[in-house]
Amino acid sequence: MRFQSSKMNQIPPYMFAEFARKKARMIADGIDVIDLGIGDPDLPTPQHIVDKLIEESGNPKNLKYPSFLGHPEFRKAVSDFYQRQFNVDLDPDTEILALIGSKEGIAHIVPTIIDPGDYVLLPDPGYPPYRMAAYLAQGQVHGMPLLKENQFQPLFTEIPEDVKHAATLMFLNFPGNPTAAAVDLGFFKEAVAFASSHQIVIAHDAAYNMVTFQGYKAPSIMQAEGAKEVAVEFGSLSKTYSMTGFRIGYAVGNKEVIKALSVYKSNTDTGQFTPIQLAAAHALNSDQNCIKAQNEIYWERMRFMLEGLKAIDIHAEAPLGSFFIWAPTPERYTSSEFADAVLEQTGVIVTPGNAFGPSGEGYFRISLSLPNDVLYEAVNRIKNNIKISAK
């Protein structure tokens, strides 16, 4: 008797599972483990959003099946946001689709676009669901290395000819997880030109487009001329408003892709709970100072953590976006060796870079989604206990 398909067997063992086991063992041994691997904001969802959710939940008509494309008020709010933030026009009826968190759309766009055997181009290192969705849809995967010498941006010219011709979908993600790299509009123009000339659909994951620092304003790929012909962009309320548990996001852009994705979705799910969509619309339509306040908190943590790392001779760049620090491991340590050493010597979990793809080797990721006092404690433990030179 078979309990899973052969493609399920292809899914590589989940890297984070081994870490979770180690963490559980240490906690059982009485060690106070600090997990800097968690990418889930500790900051509370702004109260006006929670209040709206409660209010809308009391309305019986909001408790019925939601519409397939998403609530019109939510789609209008996304359209207004794109107009305000990026000066981009989007038709709420044909160019915007509500998602049950952007991860849902990221997983579903792959079988929507590709046939088995097609190549999916994805960032290496990158958010693991891109790769997993490609495996599940029986696609082939080509990782585009994100290297420091290229500002952690992919070089389209390095993609082999045969891969380019067999590719039908490309994921991009800026500001990026795990590298925290950011791009300007010029990069998106280049990506759109490349995708147009090779007839590849671009799926840009913009989960961190509003989590930015140092005066940086993240562009939308939709601002690039011709983007609507080849690209969709995934947006999420999760990181912008600390709404991870709400599960609400959206896809915008190319009409054909939005339509195909909505057909796929209408056969697999029935949309997010209406009060959540209305609370999300309210978040987008209300005063945006909560984002500014949140980013100031992340930036303060960022600076503190970067200083702490410097004290042990680890020099990471101050990011323009995301709540991650992507730092080089000290020489003579692989990513896994370093993550193990930090965990064993300090009880602090950092994520080894190779968990995000082979080009992540030589790096580790720290997430700043923990309260200040916990971060301070983690920095002090690392500063006082990690002996880089004495391996």
Cβ proximity to ligand PLP, 75 vs 239, nearer residue: 239
What string marks each residue from 62 to 101 as x (binds ligand PLP by CB under 6 A) or -? ---------------------------------------x
Q: How far is the CB of 110 from ligand PLP (least distance, A)?
A: 14
Residue 294 contacts ligand PLP per CB under 6 A: no
* DSSP SS3 for 297: helix
Distance CA 304, CA 282 (A): 33
Distance CA 2, CA 215 (A): 55
Distance CA 78, CA 81 (A): 5
- The answer to whether 116 and 165 are in contact (CB under 8 A) is no
Out of 36, 45, 81, 102, the only residue in the binding site for ligand PLP (CB under 6 A) is: 102
Out of 112, 153, 168, 177, the only residue in the binding site for ligand PLP (CB under 6 A) is: 177
Q: How far is the CB of 190 from ligand PLP (least distance, A)?
A: 21
Cβ proximity to ligand PLP, 98 vs 201, nearer residue: 98
Cα–Cα distances in angstroms (integers) from residue 380 to residues 42, 297, 369, 376, in the given order: 20, 19, 17, 6
Residue 205 contacts ligand PLP per CB under 6 A: yes
Residues near ligand PLP (CB under 6 A), total:
14
Q: How far is the CB of 234 from ligand PLP (least distance, A)?
A: 7
Q: How far is the CB of 236 from ligand PLP (least distance, A)?
A: 3
Q: Among positive and negative, which fits the CA dihedral 272, 278, 281, 282?
A: negative
* DSSP SS3 for 203: strand
Q: How far is the CB of 324 from ligand PLP (least distance, A)?
A: 9
Cβ proximity to ligand PLP, 101 vs 360, nearer residue: 101
Give residues with Cβ within 8 angstroms of 32, minimum separation 6: 347
The residue to which tokens 């766009």 are assigned? 109
Residue 173 contacts ligand PLP per CB under 6 A: yes
Cβ proximity to ligand PLP, 246 vs 333, nearer residue: 246
* Piece in contact with ligand PLP (CB under 6 A), picked from 233-241, 291-299, 341-349, 353-361: 233-241
Residue 128 C-alpha from the chain's centroid: 9
Out of 168, 220, 238, 335, the only residue in the binding site for ligand PLP (CB under 6 A) is: 238
* Piece in contact with ligand PLP (CB under 6 A), picked from 47-55, 231-239, 279-287, 360-368: 231-239
If you ran DSSP here, which 8-state letter would residue 260 be given?
Answer: H
E strand spans, the chain: 34-35, 96-99, 119-124, 140-145, 167-173, 201-205, 231-236, 249-253, 324-328, 348-349, 351-352, 363-367
For residue 269, what are the β-bridge partners? none
Q: How far is the CB of 42 from ligand PLP (least distance, A)?
A: 14
* Piece in contact with ligand PLP (CB under 6 A), picked from 13-21, 78-86, 237-245, 272-280: 237-245
Cβ proximity to ligand PLP, 346 vs 351, nearer residue: 351
Out of 144, 170, 182, 207, the only residue in the binding site for ligand PLP (CB under 6 A) is: 207
The interface with ligand PLP within residues 25-44 (CB under 6 A) comprises 39
Structure tokens belonging to residue 184: 């300007």
Structure tokens belonging to residue 390: 């004495």
Is residue 29 classed exposed, middle or buried when 0-12, 13-18 and 19+ CB atoms within 10 A define those classes? exposed
Residue 319 contacts ligand PLP per CB under 6 A: no
Out of 236, 295, 335, 359, the only residue in the binding site for ligand PLP (CB under 6 A) is: 236
Length of the chain: 391
- What are the φ/ψ torsions at residue 97 (nearest 5 degrees)? -135, 130
Q: How far is the CB of 206 from ligand PLP (least distance, A)?
A: 9
- The answer to whether 369 and 349 are in contact (CB under 8 A) is no
Structure tokens belonging to residue 126: 């990158």
Cβ proximity to ligand PLP, 169 vs 341, nearer residue: 169
Binding site for ligand PLP (CB under 6 A): 39, 101-103, 127, 173, 177, 205, 207, 236, 238-239, 244, 249
